Chain A
Amino acid sequence: MASLSSDEWRTICDKFTNAQNLTEVESRNDPENDPFRSKYKARELLREIYCSLKSFEAGEGEEDSGGESGDQRPTEQPVDGQREDVFGQGFSGDSPAGLRAAKLGAVEYYLGVNHVDTEELSAGREHLMNCMKQLERCRVSCENVSLFIHVRNQLGILWAGRDETETAQGFLETAESIYQRYMKEDGSPPTDMTEYFTTEENLLTHQERTKRFELAYTHTMYYLAQVYQNLGETERAAIYCHSTLQRQLQLNQFNPMEWALNAATLSQYYITKGRYMEGRHCLSAATVISGLAGEVPSEAAAQESETESERREQLRQKRAEIARCWIKYCLNLLRDAKKLLEDNIGELDTDRQEELKRERRREEEEEEKGRKSALLFGSEDTFDSIASLEEKVHCLFPLDFTEARAVFLVGQNYVTQAKEYFQMDGYVTDHIEILQDHSSLFRALAFFEEDLERRCKMHKRRVDMLEPICSDLNSQYYLLIHRQLMFELAETYSEMMDLKLTLANRQADTQSLDNHTIKKFNHLCSASAKYFQMFLDSLCSPEGKFPEHLEEEVLRPALVARFRVARLHSRLISSIPSVQLENLNKSLENYKYVVQYCEAHPEAAPAVETELELSKEMAGLLPLKINRLKARMAANNSGMPLLTD
Chain B
Amino acid sequence: TQLVASGDSNSIKVFVRVRPLTQGTGLTTDGDQSLCLTVTSPNTIRLLSKPEPRTFTYDHVADMDTSQDSVFSSVAKNIVESCMNGYNGTIFAYGQTGSGKTFTMLGPSELDNFTDELRGVIPRSFEYLFFLINREVERSPESKSFLCKCSFIEIYNEQIYDLLDTASASLFLRENIKKGVFVEGAVEKFVNSAAEAYQVLSMGWRNRRVASTSMNRESSRSHAVFTMTLESKESINEVVNIRMSQLNLVDLAGSERQKDTHTEGSRLKEASSINRSLMCLGQVIMALVDVSNGKNRHICYRDSKLTFLLRDSLGGNAKTYIIANVHPGSKCFGETLSTLQFAQRAKLIKNKAVINEDTQGNVR
Contact = CB atoms under 8 A, between A and B. Distances in A.
B285 A328 contact: no
A160 B9 contact: no
A480 B278 contact: no
A644 interface: no
B288 A269 contact: yes
Contacts of B215: none
A296 interface: no
Given A268-B299, A428-B176, A541 B6 contact: yes
Interface in B1-29: 3-9
A219 B269 CA distance: 10
Interface in B260-282: 265-271, 273, 275-282
Contacts of A476: 3, 5, 86, 88, 180, 244-245, 317
B157 to A, nearest CB: 14
B288 A234 contact: yes
Interface stretch (A86-94, A452-460, A467-475): A467-475
A147 to B, nearest CB: 17
Given A241-B285, A248-B278, A477-B181, A321 B363 contact: no
Contacts, number: 224
A223 B268 contact: yes
Interface stretch (A135-143, A182-190, A254-262, A628-636): A254-262
Given A226-B284, A272-B293, A474-B180, A327 B5 contact: no
B18 to A, nearest CB: 28
Given A265-B285, A477-B181, A554 B4 contact: no
B155 to A, nearest CB: 18
Contacts of B275: 215, 253
A325 B298 contact: yes
A473 B298 contact: no
A381 interface: no
A225 B352 contact: no
A265 B301 contact: yes
Interface in B339-354: 350-354
Contact of A547 (B3, B7, B351, B356): B7
Contacts of A428: 175-177, 180
Contact of A163 (B181, B218, B266, B359): B266
A74 interface: no
B281 A160 contact: no
B300 A473 contact: no
B104 to A, nearest CB: 25
Contacts of A223: 268
Contact of B276 (A255, A328, A484, A611): A255
A569 interface: no
Contacts of A491: 357-359
A281 to B, nearest CB: 15
B184 to A, nearest CB: 8
Contacts of A560: 357
A222 interface: yes
Contacts of A229: 284, 287-288
Contacts of A331: 296
B281 A477 contact: no
A594 to B, nearest CB: 12
A335 B297 CA distance: 13
Contact of B177 (A266, A322, A474): A474
Interface in A416-434: 424-429
Interface of A: 24, 32, 156-157, 160-161, 163, 165, 168, 215, 218-219, 222-223, 225-227, 229-230, 234, 237-238, 241, 244-245, 248, 253-255, 258, 261-262, 264-266, 268-269, 271-274, 318, 321-322, 324-325, 327-328, 331-332, 335, 345-346, 424-429, 436-437, 440, 443, 469, 472-480, 482-484, 487-488, 491, 498, 535, 537-542, 544, 547, 551, 553-554, 556-557, 560, 610-611, 614
Closest A-B pairs by Cβ, 9 of them: A477-B180, A428-B175, A557-B355, A268-B297, A321-B300, A272-B290, A272-B295, A324-B298, A160-B268
Given A24-B273, A425-B176, 16 more contacts: A160-B268, A161-B267, A245-B281, A248-B276, A255-B277, A266-B285, A269-B285, A327-B298, A443-B358, A476-B317, A479-B317, A541-B4, A541-B6, A542-B3, A542-B4, A551-B350
